[in-house]
Amino acid sequence: MKFLFFTDTHIRGTNPRARLDDFEKTLYNKFEELLSYVRLNNIDYVLFGGDLLDRPDVSLSVMQKFIDVLNKFPKPIYMVLGNHDIYGQNPNTVNRTIIGILETLGIVWILDDKPVELNDGKVKIKITGSSFTYDIDVDSSKSKYITNKGECDYLIHIAHGMLMEKPFIKEVPHTTIDEIIQRTEADITLCGHYHTGYGIIKIENKYIVNPGAIVRINNSIAEIKRQPSFAVIDINENISVYIEKLKSAPRGEDILDRSFIKIQEQREILFNNIIQTVNTYGEFEMLSINQIVEEVAKKESIPDEIKKEVLDRLTRAHIILSKEVVD
Ligand SMILES: [Mn+2]
């Protein structure tokens, strides 16, 4: 069986500030290239790592074009939700989002509570998934990255979280591969969320794969140099995994505006100052509002139902705010 895995497409109708080209058009071309790769290379199943959309309510006129191409992929596309696909970093809001509609139409399949078993008469492959939740990398058990093989020959797990090769910036919640590699039974763990990606890492016959985002949204030097890629997985008697570069992706130099970098650097300094200020008020190691609620609740022994109410209200506020924001 042959799989194609891609991640973080961030479909949107507007241009990210640093982009000089027509982002929507370029992205559409990438989807068409992926589709023709699927057809020419006899890919059986398509897997997706989350952040299909840049926001949960991306406009219908934009979606109309992309639904047309998504509908031509082998159905369904097995996927997990990214933080941009949902409201309030809460996967339970999916029914109010565009992805909820795509799932109803049978175009996508959200894996979390519906793992899939594929059997071609030769091998039995199970696919499990963990959508983004605000605690995916905060939870010390790292349970969203751990999955069980059961009766199948091979197990593929997809997660949208900050799974990193090495320890990362302290302020950003993340998980390192060595925290999970011994405990997960997945032969292949496919990851989205960290846009830079790291390709294929193989440890003791287990693969960890993040080919990086299909899109380049910021204009860091690393992003300018990076060529958007996807992964191909071929499972017969053995597993083979390889990375393919998108040919339709323009050169970073041609589409990312570097004059913008200076302003962005100043912003980063400002942002770091804010983080430091917040840290002096409490020992918050992260800045996500949900995580701060979690920390405060723990410190002050606030009952679970009150914490839940606060998180629910934050989700509702996010829904209201996102309707008011004009991109
Ligand atoms: Mn993303």
Q: DSSP letter string over 5-44?
A: EE----B-SS--TTB-S-HHHHHHHHHHHHHHHHHHTT--
Alpha-helical runs (H) found in 52-208: 60-70, 98-104
Pick the CATH number of 2-254 from 3.60.21.10, 1.10.357.10, 3.30.70.100, 2.60.40.1220: 3.60.21.10
Per-residue tokens: 218: 């910021």
Could you tell me how many residues make up the chain?
Answer: 327
Q: How far is the CA of 104 from the centre of ligand 1 (A)?
A: 23
Q: How far is the CA of 27 from the centre of ligand 1 (A)?
A: 14
Indicate if the alpha-carbon torsion angle 300, 305, 310, 311 is positive or negative: positive
Please tell me the predicted confidence (pLDDT) of residue 325.
Answer: 47
Is residue 247 within 8 Å of residue 11, measured between CB atoms? no
Q: What integer best gives the mean pLDDT of the chain?
A: 89
CATH 3.60.21.10 in the chain is located at 2-254
Q: How far is the CA of 82 from the centre of ligand 1 (A)?
A: 7
Q: How far is the CA of 216 from the centre of ligand 1 (A)?
A: 10
Tens-digit pLDDT profile for residues 29-78: 999 999 999 999 999 999 999 999 999 999 999 999 999 999 999 999 99
What torsion, rounded to 10 degrees, do the Cα atoms 287, 289, 290, 291 define? Answer: 30
Is the pLDDT at 291 greater than 90, yes or no?
Answer: no
Q: How far is the CA of 5 from the centre of ligand 1 (A)?
A: 15
Q: How far is the CA of 92 from the centre of ligand 1 (A)?
A: 19
Lowest mean pLDDT of 94-103, 113-122, 248-257, name the range: 248-257
Please tell me the predicted confidence (pLDDT) of residue 102.
Answer: 96
Does residue 211 sit in helix, strand or coil?
coil
Lowest mean pLDDT of 111-120, 124-133, 197-206, 316-325, name the range: 316-325
Q: How far is the CA of 132 from the centre of ligand 1 (A)?
A: 10
Q: How far is the CA of 88 from the centre of ligand 1 (A)?
A: 15
Q: How far is the CA of 54 from the centre of ligand 1 (A)?
A: 8
